[in-house]
Amino acid sequence: MKISFVIPFHNENKNCLPMIERVVSYGKKEKLNFEVIPVDDRSTDGTGEILKKTVKKYKNVHPVYRKSDKVEKGNTMGKSLIAGTKAAKGEIIIWTMGDRSDDVETYGKMIKKIQKGYDIVFGSRYMPGGSRGNLDLLKAFLSSWGTRLAGLLFAVPVHDITNAFRAFKKEVFDVIGLESVGFSISPEFAIKAQLSGFRLGEVPTIYTNRVEGVSSFKIYKMTKSYLFLYMKLFYDFRLRPQFSRVSKGAGSKS
Ligand SMILES: Nc1nc2c(ncn2[C@@H]2O[C@H](COP(=O)(O)OP(=O)(O)OP(=O)(O)O)[C@@H](O)[C@H]2O)c(=O)[nH]1
Ligand SMILES: [Mg+2]
C-alpha cells in the first residue's frame, strides 16, 4: 500500500522545508511506502525555489508547480489539492496543510481507520479527544457550524469537514469529481462523498495556529463560498432527485 501526502503551499517560505521534513521523518519512522507531493502555485516568496532544493535532498518528494493559463484571482487551494491528488501514485491520499498547523502524529490513526474499511477519514478538532488548540473563536464557531449545517442538510455523520486535513482512498476522489477552486473544497469533498454512499469516518486531532507566514484565509469570502456551495449542492442533490447520486466517473477539474 502506497501513501501520497499532498500538501498545498502558497507563500510558505518559512514553513515548507520544515513541513516536508516533518512528513518525511514520520514516513521513515513508520516505515511507510510513501511519496510527498507539495503543490506550489504562484508563490512569490521563494517557496518554489525551496521546493526545487528538497527534490535533490529527498527522492520521494515530487513537487507540482501549478501554473494556470488564465489569470486567477483569489485563493486556489482547491485547484492545488486537485492537481496534487491527480499527480499522486498512492492508493491512499492524505491532505495536510503546509503551515504546520496539522498534527502529523494523527496519520497513523487515519491510516488504520482506512484499513478498517472507511473510504475517507477526517482529522477532527471537534470530536471527543480532538482540540481546536489556539484556533480563534470566530473561526472555530464558523467552522463547527459549517459542519453542523452539512449534517442537517446532507446527513454528513462527522464533526469537522471544514479542515482540509484528511485521508482517503484515491478511488473516492476519482469517482466524485471535485470542482471547488478555493477553501470550499473541504466541505464539497465531504458532502459529495456522503451523497455517493462512501463510508465517512473521523479521528481526533489537535490543531495549532500557524506561527510563521501569512494567512490566505478571508472569513467573509470563505463564508460566502461555503453558503453558495451548500445552496448549489442542496439544489442539485435534494431538490432535483434525478441528481440524488453523484454521477460516477465525473472526475475532478483542476
Ligand atoms: N497551492 C496553494 N496553496 C494555498 C493557497 N492558499 C492557501 N494555501 C495553502 O493552504 C494551506 C491553508 O491555508 P491557510 O492560509 O493556512 O488557511 P487557514 O489555515 O484557514 O488560515 P490560518 O489561520 O492562517 O492558518 C496553507 O498551507 C497555505 O499555504 C493557494 O491559493 N494555493
Ligand atoms: Mg493554516
pTM exceeding 0.75: yes
What CA–CA distance (Å, rounded) separates 245 from 198? 11
Per the structure, the complete domain to which residue 42 belongs is given by 2-244
Q: Is the CB of 182 under 6 A from ligand 1?
A: no
In a domain, 26, yes or no: yes
- Which of the listed residues 7, 17, 77 should we mutate to test ligand 1's pocket, taking the one with most ligand atoms within 8 A of CB? 77
In a domain, 196, yes or no: yes
250 versus 82: the higher-pLDDT residue is 82
In a domain, 254, yes or no: no
In a domain, 250, yes or no: no
In a domain, 195, yes or no: yes
Number of domains in the chain: 1
Contact criterion met (CB below 8 Å) for 82 and 57: no
Residue 128: all three cell numbers together:
471527543
Average pLDDT, whole number, for the chain?
A: 91
Given a cut of 70, whether residue 130 has pLDDT beyond it is yes
Q: Is the CB of 106 under 6 A from ligand 1?
A: no
In a domain, 10, yes or no: yes
Q: Is the CB of 15 under 6 A from ligand 1?
A: no
Backbone φ, ψ for residue 196 (5° rounding): -90, 0
Q: Which pLDDT belongs to residue 150?
A: 96
220 versus 20: the higher-pLDDT residue is 20
Given a cut of 50, whether residue 14 has pLDDT beyond it is yes
Q: Tens digits of per-residue pLDDT, 181-238?
A: 999 999 999 999 999 999 999 999 999 999 888 777 778 888 899 999 999 999 888 7
In a domain, 178, yes or no: yes
Q: Which pLDDT belongs to residue 250?
A: 46
In a domain, 249, yes or no: no
Q: Which pLDDT belongs to residue 165?
A: 98
Domain with residue 237: its CATH number is 3.90.550.10
Strand bridging mode 166-169 / 200-204:
unpaired
Contact criterion met (CB below 8 Å) for 252 and 180: no
Q: Tens digits of per-residue pLDDT, 228-254?
A: 999 999 988 877 655 554 544 444 444
